[in-house]
Structure 1
């Protein structure tokens, strides 16, 4: 398999300037590229490390209720997530910009010192802020899952 690196998440925004300010001020992103599409159209890439947020101007309003708690449970993106050394300090630093939707919650039963809080960005996207998460040393494989095509073939036999 050829090398693959995670690149970006694209966000549709009603107010690109507010979204840019939120992620540059609170999560260390910086402008990486602005593409002028003519008229009022543009695409703005924000970068942190090797990961980008790609911001588009939303063309429509959403008919979906804003996500709550740690994000929607329907298929699709649940939330964005960032690691910090101390979430209490991060929340204090963010002040009123930290609209908490859930937590802070401690997950010491799973990983000692793991603590998480979820906040809402200016567009309503849920953003997880965690401290203390570490990878598991020996992750078991996923059990085999029947694909819809395999299930349909088995049903016709």
Structure 2
């Protein structure tokens, strides 16, 4: 029945700041950007490589979402990287602070977490 994950929707508090983060810091490519006047909302479709991946939305005064302590619901969004040390260095050069790199005890793969401008937990997961 299911074929793949089509996209992930993210609602942000400050559209300009989040757009800059996802495009300039993380390097996602803009597919299309639409202002929906009836909702006073921006919708930005973003791709990683050739894969459509994130819809970034703005809405007037969205309520905050609890992510710490861990709350029920979507926990985090993980991005695969080939070299976690290089990815952490690139993020640090752009002012993004990451947690210390850890090792998944089940897969022995390295990973770390960081946050988007609204505190959404994001993960880098090294794949070889």
1:155 maps to what in 2?
none
Displacement after TM superposition at 1:99 (Å): 2.2
Q: Assess if the C-alpha contact under 8 Å between 1:22 and 1:122 holds in 2.
A: yes
Tell me the equivalent position of 1:43.
Answer: 43
Query: Which runs of no fewer than 5 residues in structure 2 stay unpaired?
Result: none
Q: Deviations over 1:29-87 (max 9, x none)?
A: 1111112212753211111232321111133343545x34xxx6332111111111111
For 1:58 and 1:38, the matched residues in 2 are separated by: 11
Structure 1 residue 127 corresponds to structure 2 residue 122: yes
Give the alignment's Cα RMSD to 1 decimal. 2.3
How many equivalent pairs are there? Answer: 125
Q: Is the CA contact (8 Å cut-off) linking 1:83 and 1:131 kept in structure 2?
A: yes
Alignment TM-score, normalising by the size of structure 2: 0.80
Query: Which structure has the greater CA radius of gyration?
Result: 1
Map 1:1-157 to 2 at 5 A.
1=1, 4-38=3-37, 40-48=40-48, 49-65=50-66, 67-68=67-68, 73-95=70-92, 96-100=94-98, 102-107=99-104, 109-112=105-108, 114-132=109-127
1:25 CA displacement: 2.6
Distance 1:17 1:92 in 2: 24
Verify the 8 A CA contact 1:13 1:55 in the aligned structure 2.
Answer: yes
> Please, what TM-score do these two structures have when normalized by structure 1?
0.67
Displacement of 1:13 in angstroms is 0.9
